[in-house]
Amino acid sequence: MGSGRLLDLGIAALDRALRAVLAPAQTSRPVPDLDETPTEPLSEADRRTSAALMRVNHAGELAAQALYHGQALVARTETTRAMLLATARSESDHLAWCEMRLRELAARPSLLNPLWYAGSFLIGTGAALLGDRASLGFVAETERQVEGHLDEHLERLPAGDARSRAILEAMRAEEIAHGAAAAAAGGARPPAPVCALMRRTARVMTGSAYWI
């Protein structure tokens, strides 16, 4: 890859990072069932629980964008790069949906979002340096773990919070599709120790974002 092309990719990556961390999230698609989901007043305790869970999901979507932006920066082929950036755009919609729901719940995103983005970008870049098959396998494993995380959150959401539930269910379906597409494109599943490290890292982020 020529130096000019690498510079262009670096500038584009910086622009995506600044937009993801500093600019209000924008969605290209309607929020799932926003007009059709009945709104039920939440108790203060339920509001706090929903807000904390949606803050974690917001941080997770920001981290997912960063992972895929980092992987796209050093992808070996344009096909893989395009796939990663398309997946990141979908995660941007998810981010906007979570951000909208946080506003409705009178809650803020995680104060540590810049840290989540920077750390995830470095992890994604490192994974992609191992080659496109390893990078796509990393996507598939990431989405598999996100699916489990969303299943847990769907169980923990207050029963009356149908709006948050509609958002998480739509996100879950798309994360499954992302993982399946990455595996079908030739992704090789990471070794077991790497998968375990990914789970531990995710627990640190989700545990911190729940409160901070």
The predicted-structure confidence for 93-144, as pLDDT tens digits, reads as follows 999 999 999 999 999 999 888 888 888 888 888 888 889 998 898 889 888 9
The predicted-structure confidence for 15-42, as pLDDT tens digits, reads as follows 566 566 655 677 777 777 766 666 678 8
| Cα–Cα distance list, 63 to 117, 152, 162 (Å) | 5, 18, 25
Asked whether the beta carbons of 154 and 168 are under 8 A apart, the reply is yes
| Residues 137, 183: Cα–Cα separation, whole Å | 6
Ranges of each domain in the chain: 53-211
The predicted-structure confidence for 62-102, as pLDDT tens digits, reads as follows 888 888 889 898 889 999 999 898 888 888 899 999 999 99
Max intra-chain CA distance, the chain: 58
Q: Please, which residues have CB within 8 angstroms of residue 132's CB and are 6 or more apart in sequence? A: 75, 76, 77, 80, 186
Q: What is the pTM of this model?
A: 0.86
The predicted-structure confidence for 173-206, as pLDDT tens digits, reads as follows 999 999 899 898 888 888 888 788 878 888 888 8
| Residues 37, 117: Cα–Cα separation, whole Å | 31
Specify the CATH number of the domain 53-211. 1.20.1260.10
